[in-house]
Amino acid sequence: MRINLLIKVYTVKVLHSVHPSDFKTYSTDLIRERFLIDNQVQPGQINCVYTHYDRMVFGFANPVNNEPELPNYPGLRANYFLERRELGIINVGGEGIVKSDGLSFKLNKLDCLYIGKGTKYVSFISKYAENPAVFYMLSAPAHTTYPTTLLKHEDAVKVRTGSAATANHRTINKYIHLEGIKSCHLVMGLTILHEGSVWNTMPPHVHDRRMEGYFYFDLPPGQKIFHFMGEGNETRHITMNNYDAVVSPPWSIHSGSGTARYSFIWGMAGENLDYTDMDAIAIPDIK
């Protein structure tokens, strides 16, 4: 369902949890309804999706000639959005600025900003309306406050993995994680595929202690992502477009292949911040 709020330019969609046995009976349309987050990047707007997977909120801000402010979602039953939450922001568009309780942070494309619990005011600006910023956000519940921190893309921890021979040569950029920006529950980073590679996260894995969300970007017009999900021995897929996101429950794999090269932001919340806490599924065992 979609709740249109009269305050600011802000909409909220709610996604509920799904049992893996029920998922096996889903049609393509129902999978898209229950897991896909699409059409949320809209000029001049902030749009959010509240999920019942570790209470993660997916957010999208696309300021053009305005300065939208992150308002309070009534369903949080909080005095302000970040009263009991933390927030990670990655810019995937033109140069932008995020204001946070009187401080201003310049985010170029692929820069990351973490905003800690207790921050009352967050707003978004594009430096150039003809090339607006696109801010992708993830917010998780937080039990303590960590400092607001900006991490430039060039300073992120980088891990190069995969190979051209298996079409999954890629660079993983870690931003919010155990050895990076400090947080309570949020883990966040992005992966850039190299020329000629189309597979991400192959072989796939699950992590029973954490949910995960993917946000696909830099996919050329007219191209598609085939996102695979479900239990490893009974997979399903949906197709996705540029600026689409998808929720991955703890029991589900999360792997994709594109008809062209692309990048994606991964984000998690759950029991721990250990990036390597995952259970791999061998390629021969995928069904």
Q: Can you list the alpha helix ranges (DSSP code H) found in the chain?
A: 20-23, 28-35
Closest C-alpha among 125, 82, 90, 89 to residue 104: 125
Residue 71 has what pLDDT?
A: 87
Q: What total of structural domains would you count in the chain?
A: 1
Residues belonging to the chain: 287
DSSP, collapsed to helix, strand or coil, labels residue 149 as strand
User: Of 193, 192, 198, 80, which Cα lies nearest the Cα of 139?
Assistant: 80
Q: Which pLDDT belongs to residue 1?
A: 34
Query: What confidence score (pLDDT) does residue 270 get?
Result: 92
CATH of residue 138's domain is: 2.60.120.10
pLDDT for position 7:
35
CB atoms within 10 A of CB 241: 15
Model pTM score: 0.94
Domain that holds residue 69: 2-285
Say what the pLDDT of residue 11 is.
61
Q: Which residues of the chain have pLDDT under 70?
A: 1-11
pLDDT given at position 248:
96
Is omega for the bond preceding 221 within 30 degrees of 0, making it cis?
A: no
Residue 205 in contact with residue 280, Cβ under 8 Å?
yes
Provide the edge-to-edge strand list for the sheet that holds 2-4: 2-4, 10-15, 46-51, 57-61, 135-141, 85-91, 112-115, 149-151
